[in-house]
Structure 1
Amino acid sequence: MASEQIFDFIIVGGKSGPSGCALAASLSKSAQSPRVLLLEAGGRNDDYMKRIDGKRWTTYKDEKMNWAYKTTPQWQCNGRQLDYSRGKGLGGGSAINFGIYTVGTRDDYDQWAADVADTMFGWENMKARFKNLEKFSGLIDNAENRKYAQPNASDHGHHGGLRIGYAKEWDQDLPLVLEALEKAGLERNPDHNSGNPLGLSLMINSSGRGRRTTADDLLVDAPNNLVIITESPVQRIILQNKKAIGVETEGVGYFATKKVILSCGALDTPKILMHSGIGPANQLKRFNIPIIQDLPAIGQGLKDHFFAPLVFKRHQDTNDRNSFYGSQHAMAEATTQWEKDQTGPWTQYGCQVGCGWFKSDKITSSDEFKALPSPVQDFLNRETTPHWELYTGFPMHHIMPELFQDYSYVCFLGYLMNEQSSGEVRLQSSDPNEPLLFDPKVLEHPYDRRTCIEVYKHLIELTSHPAFAKDTVSTILGPKTESDEDILQFWRENIFSSWHMTGTVKMGKHGDLNAAVDSQFRVFEMENLCVADMSVVPVLTNNHTQATAYAVGATCADVLIRELNDCAISRTDDGLGASP
């Protein structure tokens, strides 16, 4: 066995995104300098032009960077198969997502801590990890626009590897829309990332100085004890009885003396576990996979955030987007300028959006809410827990170009938060290179359907206010009428996934039949096998979840580094000297 194939830790980052990169970077830089292997199924994603801030809405269309998954047909969505894009290559989802950096609510993390009986996941501890990760710039150049976001510096980090902040220049109608929404009754929030996201504000971007930030940025100054190998999809974990000792990728074995950690996300980590004989026995038997450990929770509990658009044509004098998006010459010149110095129109158009999270009395007074279990009602009624999200300034023409000849439009997105439907991922083949079947069971729970209706009614009410409506020419995309039936039908026909898939290898207490890993990220009943990605998160956090994924990796690194340090101290106390 070649010595270069043996490592202390192997991190399987089938989509080496926020969790895997944060874990690899932190673990490799720890005092014990363990030898760490990060295996990536895709490529290096090192095309610098893919970092143009204003083009972050189209990166997912690059087939070299996207596994291009689809859901199974969703019966509540007229049999549609929803886009379930997953990032391919270093950076993972952060290389193809829409560049939004929000951390969620303090109640999310305190509930997580309660669910797993470990304060390590409580808000104050997770907030410290967020601050360590980020290099935040709260700068807003235009003094007139500073009222829309007033972050407290003490709530942010300024020395981490992830550059985040606000765009230097914005679409000219964004302040007009934010002002109109405030006149329509929405209260401002000075900073969504303070632990309480309720209210209207500017979205913090995972970008800085005109360039999008991806998880790969955490690996820029990685030490030599971190080895990164790309184009190496892992098929199985190599086991000795129930002990993980390595992984197999395309017939090649890599071995770990301490831990194998899966960090492939909620759609692919379950696949590797199942093809290694760890998962629901009934599925493994069906595909003749030898059962090593029956864990029925693996693949269950899939959660996501779903949204639907509402689009209005606006008077052309409210914006100047036609002069840019309507001119191939202008966009080409802007690309040349960005390549030169990362400035220009591609750092303005589509680079800053507004958003808000809100509660709804109409939702909490509904029969569907009252039918929920008491603990769920309690969580939804907590101080910082929202019921829905509003998002404004979304450049929808990048997603549905057929709708737009004129770029003078405003697109709102209405999000369902805290969905009560629970989906699953399951085997469809004994071939480990075949993806699982992804069935999020969209809108199957009555609460979700009621919430979608009420979310859209809130959006219609806001956009009917004279402060906004005075500049509206017509509706480009919306329901036929304002009836419950037509609104719900519109959602069925136009619902999208946010690609926030979570919960399929859920963390929980020992004895919890709905869980598969403990609070130390260890797979139940297995040795030296951990999972660190969004699949373990037991609470679908109320945010755009890339920030949560970073924190998962950082938290797992804290656990493993503590174990390394304890081992070194033990060896010293035994008179054996520190580990080499």
Structure 2
Amino acid sequence: MMNEHYDFIVCGAGPAGSVIAARLAEDKQVNVLLIEAGGTDEVPEVMTPAQWPLNLGSERDWAFVAQPNAHLNGRSIPLNMGKVLGGGSSINVMVWARGHKNDWNYFAEASGDPAWGYESVLEIYRRIENWQGASDPVRRGTGGPVYVESAANPQPIAQSMVEAANSMGIPRFESPNGEMMEGRGGAAINDLIIRNGRRSSIFRSYVYPLLNQPNLSVLTHTIVSKLIFDGKSVIGVEVIQDGRRNHYYASEEVILSLGAINTPKVLLQSGIGPEEELRRHGIPVVQHLPGVGQNHQDHVSFGCIFEYREPQKISNGGSEATLYWTSDPNLKQPDMFHCQVEFPVPSADTAHLGVPEHGWTMFAGLSHPKSRGTVRLSGPDVNDPVLINANTLSHPDDLKAAFSNIELCRDLGNSSVFEKLVKREALPGKLGRSEMENFARNAAVTYWHQSCTAKMGQDSMSVVDGNLKVYGINKLRVADASIMPEITSGNTMAPCVVIGERAADIIKQAHRMTSYQAVKVAG
């Protein structure tokens, strides 16, 4: 039997929500409820690294799809998102990528709070990590909850990618999470959250060890439908369980960590968002916040595929090497974000061009795309789907960047370094300008890094402040990828763990909790 009343309710057991629930539950005097729409992670598709693609389209996937996009030749691209304990950290490719130094400094600038800056975040990362590689006391931590190691025994194709990049003047680093992401970037073998051959998700790292604590309750197969208010204070949540509506109440705070699609959906359906849209759906306006559901950002990529001379083994989930690079040395952050996958991955609209049975993919990715999308309601009820206008490639600079990224991938894949492993370039091949543009529009897919739809900041389009409190609302915070003012350079899981840690620190300090440990703010 579940209690109805708790001190804190955390909605969403993804990377940020798992961290917050676990950190708050460290104080044994505090009762915490963690609510997750999905179910157990104890299935082979989650725990076995090589089986991660089987989660896509399964019951562990929200299976969002963007609206048709004229900039993608009318395509509606899939936008998968984890619906399981651990969220994205339970269905992703397990890459641990911290983001660039200047990503975090921009967070500090946007929020007006230096505690979001790189030096402070470095201290959080040292607290988080149980790093298994070479000692780097400035940048890496040991003994933390998240087991991180460089991809064990990487395949020759991964090692060749790093070597090929180095031959083209892109420096090689031993890890993508140290010095490499303080300058122009580089190439490296990936850091992964794999331990003893099994996925070590953020839920497994933080919450699982505490499941026997009586002050932490985890509720699965439960969808948060809306917030419950007393005036402008949030006092609980309405949920759907087994087709029935139930209420749970929080005496202190509710924290939304539902991800960049469901967090704005719940805010909107609760009456927090653009007044015009709320009134259009007959939703009473609790707080006019025009930025809710705006500023949608996502890394976009284009699969360049090469055929092996002989079939090759796939290890560590198949993603063992990565590249970040600034095409212009004057840029503050890498604009190129390439992820290697050890099997062929065309889009649904490029597969007909001919895909080898045995091959590998270099995803030419845009690290900081300029296109912006929206998340809107189709109706006021929890069962009404959201309308995601991702607007991928809507900004003309993104198409130009796509050409540059694809050409770099082609140069890498056709490097002499690969001669013994690669037979030929399968996609896209040498194309003219119009054919390459058509390829890019048909090949564009998501990196599954949706973010920024409830951004942190100080302007009129900001949804939360530097303490992650929703403007105009009491006892409500947001802590997930939606609060990013701009998407980070690379995979978003590790930054979401930092967001969770920051949220937990802020909440503990605000409520004078006994387990609070301050993180020193540089400067």
Structures share fold, TM-score greater than 0.5: yes
Are the counterparts in 1 of residues 301 and 363 from structure 2 also a CA contact under 8 Å? yes
**1:517, CA displacement in angstroms?**
0.8
User: Does 1:5 pair with 2:4?
Assistant: yes
Residues 399 and 221 from structure 1, CA distance in 2 versus in 1: closer, same or farther, beyond 3 angstroms? farther
Match of 1:310 among 289, 304, 307: 304
Deviates more, 1:469-478 or 1:410-419: 469-478
Residues 195 and 240 from structure 1, CA distance in 2 versus in 1: closer, same or farther, beyond 3 angstroms? farther
Are the counterparts in 2 of residues 105 and 195 from structure 1 also a CA contact under 8 Å? no
Deviates more, 1:204-213 or 1:492-501: 204-213
User: Does 1:237 pair with 2:224?
Assistant: no
Distance 1:412 1:77 in 2: 20
Are the counterparts in 1 of residues 72 and 392 from structure 2 also a CA contact under 8 Å? yes
Distance 2:235 2:203 in 1: 27
Written as runs of structure 1 = structure 2, the 5 A alignment for 1:5-44 is: 5-13=4-12, 16-30=13-27, 33-44=29-40
**1:294, CA displacement in angstroms?**
0.9
Amino acid in the other structure paired with 2:377? L
Match of 2:369 in 1: 419
Match of 1:373 in 2: none
Written as runs of structure 1 = structure 2, the 5 A alignment for 1:395-410 is: 395-396=343-344, 406-407=357-358, 409-410=359-360
SS at match of 1:475: strand
Match of 1:376 in 2: none
Distance 1:315 1:568 in 2: 57
**1:543, CA displacement in angstroms?**
1.5
Deviations 1:367-401 (A, max 9, x none): xxxxxxxxxxxxx722xx10102222442359879
Are the counterparts in 2 of residues 113 and 121 from structure 1 also a CA contact under 8 Å? yes
Match of 2:322 in 1: 355
Written as runs of structure 1 = structure 2, the 5 A alignment for 1:556-567 is: 556-565=503-512
Amino acid in the other structure paired with 2:129? E
Match of 1:220 in 2: 208
User: Does 1:275 pair with 2:264?
Assistant: no
SS at match of 1:253: strand
User: Does 1:65 pair with 2:65?
Assistant: no
User: Does 1:192 pair with 2:198?
Assistant: no
Amino acid in the other structure paired with 2:150? Y
User: Does 1:524 pair with 2:471?
Assistant: yes
Match of 1:553 in 2: 500
Match of 1:107 among 96, 102, 105: 102
Amino acid in the other structure paired with 1:212? R
Residues 195 and 270 from structure 1, CA distance in 2 versus in 1: closer, same or farther, beyond 3 angstroms? farther
Distance 2:45 2:379 in 1: 37
Distance 2:416 2:209 in 1: 53
Are the counterparts in 2 of residues 201 and 354 from structure 1 also a CA contact under 8 Å? yes
**1:478, CA displacement in angstroms?**
0.8
Amino acid in the other structure paired with 1:517? V
Match of 1:209 in 2: 196
Written as runs of structure 1 = structure 2, the 5 A alignment for 1:71-150 is: 71-138=66-133
SS at match of 2:306: strand
Are the counterparts in 1 of residues 274 and 291 from structure 2 also a CA contact under 8 Å? yes
Are the counterparts in 1 of residues 414 and 425 from structure 2 also a CA contact under 8 Å? no
Deviates more, 1:105-114 or 1:449-458: 449-458
Distance 2:515 2:164 in 1: 60
Distance 2:325 2:201 in 1: 28
Are the counterparts in 2 of residues 281 and 291 from structure 1 also a CA contact under 8 Å? yes
Match of 1:443 among 375, 378, 393: 393
Residues 356 and 153 from structure 1, CA distance in 2 versus in 1: closer, same or farther, beyond 3 angstroms? farther
Distance 1:568 1:450 in 2: 50
Deviations 1:308-361 (A, max 9, x none): 011111322xx644xxxxxxxxxxxxxxxxxxxxxxxx8x36445111111114
SS at match of 2:334: coil
Instruction: Give % identity.
Output: 27
SS at match of 1:190: coil
Distance 1:202 1:12 in 2: 34
Deviations 1:510-534 (A, max 9, x none): xx11101111111111111111111
Distance 1:163 1:398 in 2: 32
Structure 2 residue runs without a partner (length 5+):
517-523
Are the counterparts in 1 of residues 110 and 485 from structure 2 also a CA contact under 8 Å? yes
Match of 1:578 in 2: none
Aligned length: 503
Distance 2:271 2:509 in 1: 30
Residues 457 and 313 from structure 1, CA distance in 2 versus in 1: closer, same or farther, beyond 3 angstroms? same
User: Does 1:392 pair with 2:388?
Assistant: no
**1:48, CA displacement in angstroms?**
4.8
**1:486, CA displacement in angstroms?**
2.4
RMSD of aligned alpha carbons: 2.4
**1:189, CA displacement in angstroms?**
2.2
**1:472, CA displacement in angstroms?**
3.6
More helix by share: 1
Match of 2:427 in 1: 477
Distance 1:151 1:514 in 2: 42
Residues 201 and 567 from structure 1, CA distance in 2 versus in 1: closer, same or farther, beyond 3 angstroms? closer
Distance 1:350 1:36 in 2: 34
Distance 1:177 1:270 in 2: 39
**1:288, CA displacement in angstroms?**
0.6
Amino acid in the other structure paired with 2:189? L
Deviations 1:268-288 (A, max 9, x none): 011111111111111111111
TM-score by length of 1: 0.82
Residues 478 and 215 from structure 1, CA distance in 2 versus in 1: closer, same or farther, beyond 3 angstroms? same
**1:172, CA displacement in angstroms?**
3.5
Distance 2:424 2:9 in 1: 55
Are the counterparts in 1 of residues 319 and 340 from structure 2 also a CA contact under 8 Å? no
Distance 1:305 1:29 in 2: 35
Are the counterparts in 1 of residues 272 and 289 from structure 2 also a CA contact under 8 Å? yes
Are the counterparts in 2 of residues 277 and 284 from structure 1 also a CA contact under 8 Å? yes
SS at match of 1:415: strand
Amino acid in the other structure paired with 2:324? W
Deviations 1:522-557 (A, max 9, x none): 111111111111111112110100001111111100
Match of 1:56 in 2: 52
Residues 499 and 393 from structure 1, CA distance in 2 versus in 1: closer, same or farther, beyond 3 angstroms? closer
User: Does 1:428 pair with 2:378?
Assistant: yes
Distance 1:449 1:111 in 2: 25
Match of 2:520 in 1: none
SS at match of 2:228: strand
Are the counterparts in 1 of residues 6 and 250 from structure 2 also a CA contact under 8 Å? yes
Are the counterparts in 2 of residues 268 and 435 from structure 1 also a CA contact under 8 Å? no
Distance 2:319 2:153 in 1: 8
Match of 1:254 among 245, 248, 252: 248
**1:55, CA displacement in angstroms?**
2.0
